[in-house]
Structure 1
Amino acid sequence: MLDFLNKKKVSSDIYLALSLQEAGAEVFLLQCTGVPASVVILGQKSFSFTNSWERLVEDVDEVLYSLEQAAGVKATRCIIFVYSHLVDINKKEIKEPYLDKIKAISDELGLVATGFMEYHEILSSYFSKNGSGQFNGILCEIDGSFVSFFVYRNGHLDLTKTINRTTDYVETIEVELSELAKTKTLPLRLVLYGIGSLENDAAAFMSKRWSKDIFVQLPKVEVMTNDQIAQALTDSLKSQLLVNDASVVTSISPPTADLSADTLSSGESSSQFDVSDTGFVIGADIQDKSFEPLSPKIPEDDSEFVAPTNMYAQTNKKTPFNSFKFFSLSLKSTAIVFAGLILVVFGLYTLLYSFHKASITLLYDTKPITRTMIVNAATLSVKSKTDQIKATGTIETTGSKFVGEKARGEVSILNKNKDQIILPKGTILLGPKDLRFTLDTETKIASASEQLTSEGNILTVTGKEKTSVTAADIGEEYNLKENTKFEIQNANSGVVAQAIKTLSGGSKKEVRTASRDDFEKLRKEVTSKIKTETKKRVKSENNNQVIDPLTEVKVINEKFSKEIAEEAGDLTLDATAKVKYYFIPLDTAQVMLSTKLAKSIPKDQTLDTNAISFSIKSATLDNGRPKIKLAVKGLPRQKVDTNSIKKSLVGKSVSQIGEISKQYQANGFEYQIETELPMLKSRLPFFTKNLTIIVKTLQ
């Protein structure tokens, strides 16, 4: 990252801050003030390139104009933020094709170019400022088809690499990290940032099974938010404004080029690059000159101060103590000076003694111990209890049935026989397609009669009777038309029926109902809820574990919201059950199990009772007494002399923790420092009482 050549007096300036990406950019309009140092974001907008980098100037001009109009200001300077794949890692310069476009922005928009910054250096500084010391972590920068990653240890950049963003780029990163891990302990923090949604990238890192040769334990994976990145950018600009001495040039990464006026060719307008204000790549690169490290210049003007070889030889050859007036002070003044010194020393002592604390966690790769044991109730102090527990459950119904109305109407029954016919109620009439209707009432039909016509012919007059009928089933198909013919079941052929009017009212639809299977399923679900509630209640009361296979549930009261086959979309059950359960007091079990496992651990390890867990594989009642099969797991802890470790670490730099922890065979470490003084965030406490040693396993 190339910083600014700062002026002694910095007034308020409006900056175009341009964050360049592979396929787009983000524009910030900033108001920067030097005294006091402040950076205010006046506007911000992201955009995609309309024609790759070819129309970069036009795209930036359009977005900048809209931001300037909205804020009512005019940008006069510009600064560039770039992703590292746009920078030549060897030359520490922006690559040539991109540099020409950046120069065009400055030229055509009339802006004074100020500098460019790489994101990873900005973020490293941001984490160091907001953390507990120099940044330790791996930054992973993602921009389109490129991925760059950077390994920082105690604020120092140990590795930088840019690769293509393939589907398996995490594997490529693993190969690079494995080489570095052969000589250095890698940090356990991995931070992703870049363009677009990074959830899939973060998931790839979190699901990766890292070798312990690379990381002593799984690294913590984070994704930076846009707000965090914006804050880091403004903090970086603000830190530049805090430097007010124009004679000082800070180069955090590559050295800057000498951009004095005589380095510009005669054909280049100096108005585009104000060399009194800028000191970075753009001006020098345009002249096809490589960066040269800045070297101090000896002033040619004798009026400027030049430090002599011997400072005291130039001041009447007096010793340094000639001007020291301590012993010429009055007794009262001397007392005040002594009192002040005592207060300063006491204050410093109090600060170091009471407000400079740290905790060191040593990580050991101890192997877990697993055993399968069969124990009886007395050994584990198993107890039983009977309780009443209520539970409610609801499920969707799965049954179905058809509901509707039967068709009804009137028919005329004709009797051609010479005898009277009596048809009882319920007599079946057969219509077309074997559709059946029944008589609603008993019906008597008179016999047929014969009459002599005037021509001498015999005329037979049939008996006729009107009656009502009802369809045998529901459905629209029973709605029959007028004059439809019917046969009378079990009657001779001389008796028939005919619809007087249309038979109507028939309807049918399918509805959901509560089936018998729904009732059984709901009973099982509610019973399961009762068992679960039993385990929760017992564990929350006394830190006990229920022996689930032995739990007996007897439902003593149940109320369903529907009957079997009743129309319903869902079915609810409120139940009360009498529950008898057995449980194991965890504290008692852990003490007993630790005694059994202690015989299996190495002598240099110890086993805490709270590091023992178990699960119940099976359980039976033997003459009313529980017999239980357990799967037991214990995680031993390394025995260490914490007092000796404290004495080794007290007052040391955090960079020495790794080497000292290896002396105690630790596989890794974590640390946290609490202090109000930034200068002490990289230094461990000077008093052993303020140093806490924690021993943990990597499992």
Structure 2
Amino acid sequence: MKISSLPNLWKKEEKEFYLSLILRNEKAKAVIFEKTTHTLKYVSANEEEFTSTIENASLEEFLSVLDKAISGAEIPLTSTVDKYKTILALKDNWIENEKIKKEYLDKLKKAGDELGLEPIGFLTFSESLTNLLQKEEGAPVTAIIAEVGKKYLTAYYIKSGRVMEAKTSEIHQGASFTVETLLKHLETPAVMPARIILINSDEDELTQEFINHQWSKSLNFLHIPQIQMLPTNSDIKAVLLGAATQMGAKLEFDASDVERVEQNKSFENVSEEKGIEGQNLDYVGKEGSMDFFGFSKSDVAKDVQQDKVSEKSALHDEALKEVSEEIPEDVKIKTEKKLNIGTLGVLLVEKAKSALSLFQNLLSKEALSSLRNGGIKDKKLLFIGLGIIALFIFFYFVFIFQTKATVKLAIDLQTLTKDESLTFSPNSTTNLDDKLLEAKIVPIEEEGSVTVDVKGKKDVGEKAKGTVTIFNNDTDPVSLAKGTIITSSNELDFLLDSGVSVASASGDVFSGTKPGTTNANVTAEDIGTEYNLPSDTKFTIGSNKSIGAKNDNAFSGGSKKNVLVVSKEDFANARAELPKKLTTKAEQDLSKKVESGMTILPQFIDTELLSEKFDKKEGDESNKLILTGAVAFNYIAYSNSDMINFVQNLFNDSETEIMKSSIKTNVKDLTVARNRDVSADLTIEIKAVAKIDTKSLAEDIKGMDVGKAKNLLSNLDKVKSVEISVFPPIPFLSSALPKNPANIIINVNSN
């Protein structure tokens, strides 16, 4: 085996210094960290303030502040770094569509050129902070984060670990008042998270200001907001956490290192050989990749992947204790409930202790000797002492274990509405993701009659009649059958009423010829007065020129008038009008057809004529037509449970509870497909109440004075009134709630 082929196990890991610039409203912080193959470690940091704000700073001031911040952070370094690979932690309003806005990008590029920086990526400070909080608490955070400066502050609304809104303002009438004003202008939350986190502020006065602030009820806090202050190094830890995650490295971070470097910047060096064994370090996993860093190519910040490795809390017990001691009496609920059982309970305990002490004295050797000698007075004292002890034990037992309390909270309902499109299908099963609810056809049968005006028209009258003389000038006789048409000179046709024969012409060339003649009765082909022809009207008979006819007397009897008669269109109109007339009756009977657990849409999808009977036939002369029949109105019904599930998904809010019985739907538009699937545009209205954790409330108020508990509960958002009753009513003790939270029953009633 060749020794040279073995890996150099003793070779020292190569180290490289990186820089992170954290840009805030009023200051810039430079953080230098050290990266080895698998590890990222904090080295030093320094911050410098802008004259006003970073937004108002000129390019010259911007470069000067960054230069001073970097120079101050470099003091502990033992070697010079020519050019830092730099990660930028930017304000939210510097980013648009996941890119740095042009006006800020130009500034940053100028800073890179002037200060010898090599930007390799950027992230938003707020998202880094929420990721840090999620790691420390083990779950996505929902809270209000207040970044308070000297003159300006920014309020972030965080929900489930996401930054929903951020607003910045100059501080007016104090930081807490400004935060309250900004929260009133938020558009996202229906119920405000009852937790406010202050970042980069170690001023006790500021924390006390927020604790003492009287928050407006219009902000919809579920209860008095909890005030939490993060340590001053939270911004450093948050940004390094994001960098380590995306660089695939493990973060070594000790809060005491930050404090020590700050105090000894000019003297203390970072030892490359210093181990991590025995230190209280926070680690970050190696998930993520260098794909996050694309600053120099596309200027786009990709989404920071959220790490799932939990970190240790940066809030030490000592810090929590110091903050808790400063909370005023009307707010310090959770601390108080852990430390005492109420003033009266403490008095009971003290009295019990005194009684036990007396009892011990009574049972001393001297006292027992005196009792054996028959001292009546001592015996009385013994029984009195035993009685007092038994009495106090009884009251204490009742107070701790047997007292019960009922709390009645009356809260207001919120009315919420949304417009949504749904498909009700008798052919499919429910699929909430596709906004599809299973439905069934519900027929409502109604009987009735309808009368419509007849619109058909017809000409009626009599045919003209008369007698003509038929002339035959041919040498042969002519026979004409019944119905033979003779045409007048004005082209009106008449029919022979019966068949006739006409003799041939007679005579010679000398005496002249005489046509054969015969008389025949004729009737007009159609009705009308125009067939009443005058006398001496000539007629032709077919195409034979040898025969003709003429009337000696005028024709008469022809007449005509226009009347209303039943037509096919009148039948169709009556069939269309019958469902319209019966619609109101069907709507009235609709409620009788509703099955339990079902709701019927108020509009029918189609109708079917089950039977019909008309009082007239087609062509009958009349001005009215009556139809009697039965109509089926087909409605759509859906399951109430399906609609409730859909509405709960639609109004999904972890901080409110929907009153299921209050759901109302209004159909604005309804379209029916050929397969009877119904697409409907709905306006959905619900009543909702803020969710109240009754178990948590019982824990908060156990052992508390009734008056103080009422005051606390009355300040909860949407609570209109509070009633508290304690049973049994023990003298001197009924003014306190039971110590056992299981004995406190909280009933929430909505108005």
Q: Is TM-score (shorter-chain normalized) higher than 0.5?
A: no
TM-score by length of 2: 0.34
TM-score by length of 1: 0.36
Structure label with greater radius of gyration: 2
